[in-house]
Structure 1
């Protein structure tokens, strides 16, 4: 089940911009660096940021961390590229809300990328830094989501090599947003299967599945709704490091985010409707059961009354006006049984006539 809240944070009262190691995270990041221009790309070892060559005119540098860097790596990155301490703190404390923080020397972007792991929804935290000639991407997950972007960059196709670092930032953001499509496709197929199953043979397990999907849709909405606003902020003309030519491509990514949010809202409405249908079907089924039990009880009420009267076993008293004459009747027992059967059949016929058995 997807967790609605997952965040690592410092102890309350810690000074802003403090970098601290978290259990199980230190040393987990694998770093790669690519220096490229319009003609070629070059992969570089990343032992220390100071050892990287300074991009010349027309060159762009892309540094990617797979996993959360430890405090030492973050401190070295911040010192070399002029990254703000508060932005580095947000990198260390994952689970941030998608946001855009513009600083004097760079832009800082936080996004959450949805993915399905063994059928469960997970949100991967991704942090992006944009400078004049560099992009730094930090992805918390174990799988690199930007492998296709790296392949495009190395093959030299498209516009990635022809444009600046801001276009690479757009390509990374577009990849993150588009990762929601296969997740929503899987959720849509699950919802459709549950809808068919609900109409044909509803069962108790369906309610838990529907609530799980509802929680996952809430989690997706919480991540992608602010992501849409973030992309709209990136299209502002007053932001540094972003060229006006990139705004058109960001507008396309914004359209994707709007479309994804529309799908999420539609799936939420369908899921809520399916929950109502399930509860209604269970209530209708309970009503059917209660109707059958009520009919059986109603039929047996007069039979029970007759059996109770004739089960009182008083001694026959010929001199009393109130003595039960049927006690000495030779065929009293079968006559009473036939009368009881006739009453039951008559009541069933009456219920059927008034439509109470439907």
Structure 2
């Protein structure tokens, strides 16, 4: 990556570009993009250039304006193309970070590009990326990041992207836990099914977004990727690839959790149905008992009770009422009636 003065930055362009210069022998500082000169960076300095651009043309133009000799990144904007491009000084990669929307239980993917050079790392994206904003906003000016090479800092960014996936999955699981608490309430309803449907769709999106990085992280741990790098850098690439595999396992576990929540809902609905049938059975038996009493009293034979008039009628009604009360007490003690 070399300086090219043929394309000075126009007014306002620097609002979409932020440059953070890491200096291991001094303080890290923000640099005006117009003042960036990569050819003057020392071994103890590393430049991180973050670009907000609409598409491949705007991104490439911004990189040329900044004096970055980067590979043709246009193929990386094709979702079906290889997510990794190698060039003489480094590589360029396409990645997607997942963002959890708690308002409607949905997951969206925000694509971004990572371009690694000899002494600079470029990130380019259209939409805001919270994990990059957090890195830029919370950075300690007295850090020793400048001692890292571009490959190590790129590994740091990929690792932070995976952390963003873990954070989004944590929020997803918290939402699922809350839903399970609602399912375990005394009154369970079928209204939880649409929520589970959205969560099932969300975990499928998590898996689809994360699995799109398989080719990228598989390439990072192969021996033919950056063969000129030392063993320490190779170990870091393998470590971030292993963390990617653990993230995939976490997504699979989240999918099992959704299935488990659905089974919990199904069990609770079955339990409610059983309770309803038990109450109906109890009421049927009780009404049947009263019908038997009324039927016996309506039989066509002479008995003293039938000559008692109104008193006999109220005695019969009281007997039936006592039967109902006794049945309810027994049902309550045995849990037949809640």
TM-score by length of 1: 0.65
Find the aligned partners of 2:137 and 2:15 in 1 and give their Cα distance.
Answer: 21
Does residue 281 of the first structure (1) align with residue 268 of the second (2)?
yes
Give how far 1:335 is off. 7.1
Residues 103, 157 of structure 1: CA spacing in aligned structure 2 closer, same or farther, 3 A cutoff? same
Does residue 266 of the first structure (1) align with residue 253 of the second (2)?
yes
Does residue 129 of the first structure (1) align with residue 115 of the second (2)?
yes
User: What is the DSSP-based 3-state SS (H/G/I as helix, E as strand, rest coil) of the residue aligned with 1:137?
Assistant: strand
Residues 70, 241 of structure 1: CA spacing in aligned structure 2 closer, same or farther, 3 A cutoff? farther
Unaligned stretches of 5+ in structure 2?
Answer: 1-12
Find the aligned partners of 1:310 and 1:301 in 2 and give their Cα distance.
Answer: 14
User: What is the DSSP-based 3-state SS (H/G/I as helix, E as strand, rest coil) of the residue aligned with 2:208?
Assistant: helix
**Cα deviations by residue, 1:282-319 (Å, 9 ceiling, x for unpaired):** 111122112212332344357558879999xxxxxxxx
User: Structure 2 residue aligned with 1:185, among 165, 170, 176?
Assistant: 170
User: What is the DSSP-based 3-state SS (H/G/I as helix, E as strand, rest coil) of the residue aligned with 1:83?
Assistant: coil
User: Structure 1 residue aligned with 2:96, among 96, 112, 126?
Assistant: 112
Alignment of 1:293-312 (within 5 A): 293-301=280-288
Give how far 1:276 is off. 0.9
Whether the 8 Å contact between 2:63 and 2:70 is mirrored in structure 1 is yes
Find the aligned partners of 1:36 and 1:252 in 2 and give their Cα distance.
Answer: 24
RMSD between aligned alpha carbons?
4.5
Give how far 1:170 is off. 1.0
Find the aligned partners of 1:337 and 1:263 in 2 and give their Cα distance.
Answer: 70
Give how far 1:60 is off. 4.8
Give the aligned partner of residue 168 of structure 1.
153
Give how far 1:234 is off. 0.9
User: Structure 2 residue aligned with 1:227, among 178, 195, 213?
Assistant: 213
Give the aligned partner of residue 87 of structure 1.
75
Whether the 8 Å contact between 2:94 and 2:114 is mirrored in structure 1 is yes
Find the aligned partners of 1:217 and 1:97 in 2 and give their Cα distance.
Answer: 22
Find the aligned partners of 1:98 and 1:145 in 2 and give their Cα distance.
Answer: 25
139-148 vs 34-43, greater mean Cα deviation: 34-43
Unaligned stretches of 5+ in structure 1?
Answer: 1-26, 91-95, 312-322
**Cα deviations by residue, 1:297-346 (Å, 9 ceiling, x for unpaired):** 344357558879999xxxxxxxxxxx95669x545894798499679949
280-289 vs 132-141, greater mean Cα deviation: 132-141
Residues 175, 85 of structure 1: CA spacing in aligned structure 2 closer, same or farther, 3 A cutoff? closer
Whether the 8 Å contact between 2:14 and 2:33 is mirrored in structure 1 is no
Does residue 218 of the first structure (1) align with residue 184 of the second (2)?
no
**Cα deviations by residue, 1:75-115 (Å, 9 ceiling, x for unpaired):** 4257663432543533xxxxx48963224455332222233
Find the aligned partners of 2:136 and 2:229 in 1 and give their Cα distance.
Answer: 22
Give the aligned partner of residue 224 of structure 2.
238
**Cα deviations by residue, 1:252-288 (Å, 9 ceiling, x for unpaired):** 3234333333333333323322221111111111221
Give the aligned partner of residue 5 of structure 2.
none
Structure 1 segments, 4+ long, off by >6 Å, are 151-154, 305-311
Whether the 8 Å contact between 2:75 and 2:81 is mirrored in structure 1 is no
Give the aligned partner of residue 20 of structure 1.
none
Give how far 1:64 is off. 1.1
Residues 55, 42 of structure 1: CA spacing in aligned structure 2 closer, same or farther, 3 A cutoff? farther
**Cα deviations by residue, 1:18-39 (Å, 9 ceiling, x for unpaired):** xxxxxxxxx9981123456654
Alignment of 1:125-164 (within 5 A): 125-147=111-133, 149-150=135-136, 155=141, 157-158=143-144, 160-164=145-149
Give the aligned partner of residue 257 of structure 1.
244
Residues 37, 177 of structure 1: CA spacing in aligned structure 2 closer, same or farther, 3 A cutoff? same
TM-score by length of 2: 0.69
User: What is the DSSP-based 3-state SS (H/G/I as helix, E as strand, rest coil) of the residue aligned with 2:111?
Assistant: strand
